[in-house]
């Protein structure tokens, strides 16, 4: 899958198939998280992978009793290490850079999962004390996200989004610019890809039909020749 498509088709899932995700797929998702940018390349994060049923249930309870989370084949809990950033960048490193670093890793994992056909959801509502106790996370670690992953049960709906010109300024705050509808935006890009794919599929179907018609005409001609020979006495 192309990067653009993986990003645009990444939607949150809250129900999953009862189907195990191969460990090599989980590994790729984790590798994507590890490859995220971080201030000073500190990589001050830890990823806790949870797949045991009892632990998933406890995590779901700690996430405001969102029981559907326990139905995910696996969960990744993202924990930041603010002290590592504080040593290098002071308060800004502790309170901002660690959050940015962890958020970049989280988004990388969600996009990679999308690319691999795996759905996920970014959960921020949880009782940190309960999670800390259940997963034995030290006080030096700060939990930033709970990410349930799995094969989505049913089609994922795209939520409504604001138009690009409503969230983008140029040169300074408040300076907007009209984007050409034909060249930008999710709908136009996806539509172009869809039309191209439809045309390609249509062409393949046409070629198949053409080949079948040619084959039937060939058989009919052969039958006609047989009949002609029969009537002519040959």
The pLDDT of residue 209:
85
The pLDDT of residue 210:
81
The pLDDT of residue 160:
86
Q: What is d(CA 28, CA 101) in angstroms, rounded to the nearest whole number?
A: 19
Start-to-end CA span in the chain (Å) = 62
Q: What is d(CA 12, CA 14) in angstroms, rounded to the nearest whole number?
A: 7
CATH number for the domain formed by residue range(s) 3-159: 3.40.109.10
The pLDDT of residue 188:
52
The pLDDT of residue 143:
98
Q: What is d(CA 179, CA 185) in angstroms, rounded to the nearest whole number?
A: 8
Domain ranges (residues) in the chain: 3-159, 168-234
In DSSP notation, 4-55 reads HHHHHT--B-S-B-S-PPPHHHHHHHHHHHHTS--GGG---EEEEEE--HHH
| Alpha-carbon torsion (10, 11, 12, 15), positive or negative | negative
Provide the whole-model pTM: 0.75
Q: Long-range CB contacts (< 8 A, 24+ apart) of 158-164? A: 158/11, 159/11, 161/186
The pLDDT of residue 184:
47
Specify whether the CB–CB gap between 37 and 104 falls below 8 A: yes
> pLDDT under 70 in the chain at which residues?
1, 181-199, 227-234
């Amino acid at each position: 899958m192309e990067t653009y498509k993986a990003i645009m088709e990444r939607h949150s899932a809250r129900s999953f198939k009862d189907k195990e995700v191969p460990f090599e797929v989980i590994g790729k998702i984790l590798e994507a998280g590890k490859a995220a940018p971080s201030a000073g390349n500190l990589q001050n994060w830890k990823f806790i992978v949870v797949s045991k049923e009892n632990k998933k249930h406890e995590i779901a309870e700690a996430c405001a009793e969102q029981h559907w989370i326990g139905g995910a084949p696996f969960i990744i809990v993202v924990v930041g290490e603010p002290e590592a950033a504080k040593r290098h960048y002071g308060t800004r490193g502790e309170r901002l850079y660690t959050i940015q670093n962890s958020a970049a890793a989280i988004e990388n994992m969600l996009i990679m999962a999308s690319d691999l056909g795996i759905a996920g959801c970014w959960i921020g509502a949880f009782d940190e004390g309960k999670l800390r106790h259940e997963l034995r996370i030290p006080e030096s670690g700060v939990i930033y996200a709970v990410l349930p992953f799995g094969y989505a049960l049913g089609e994922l709906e795209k939520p409504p989004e604001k138009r690009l010109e409503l969230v983008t300024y140029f040169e300074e705050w408040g300076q907007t610019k009209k984007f050409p509808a034909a060249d930008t935006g999710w709908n136009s890009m996806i539509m172009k890809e869809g039309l191209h794919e439809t045309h390609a599929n249509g062409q393949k179907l046409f070629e198949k039909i053409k080949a079948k018609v040619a084959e039937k005409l060939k058989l009919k001609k052969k039958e006609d020749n047989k009949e002609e020979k029969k009537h002519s006495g040959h």
